Amino acid sequence: MVGLAGLHIIGTEHHEARRIDNQLRGRAGRQGDPGSSRFYASLEDEILR
Q: Give pLDDT tens digits along the chain (49 positions).
A: 556 778 888 988 888 888 998 888 888 888 888 889 899 888 888 777 7
Which of 9, 12, 14 is CA-nearest to residue 36? 9
Q: What was the pLDDT predicted at 7? A: 86
- For residues 49 and 27, give the distance between their C-alpha atoms in angstroms, rounded to a whole number: 28
pTM of the model: 0.62
Q: What was the pLDDT predicted at 2? A: 55
Q: What was the pLDDT predicted at 12? A: 86
Q: What was the pLDDT predicted at 46? A: 79
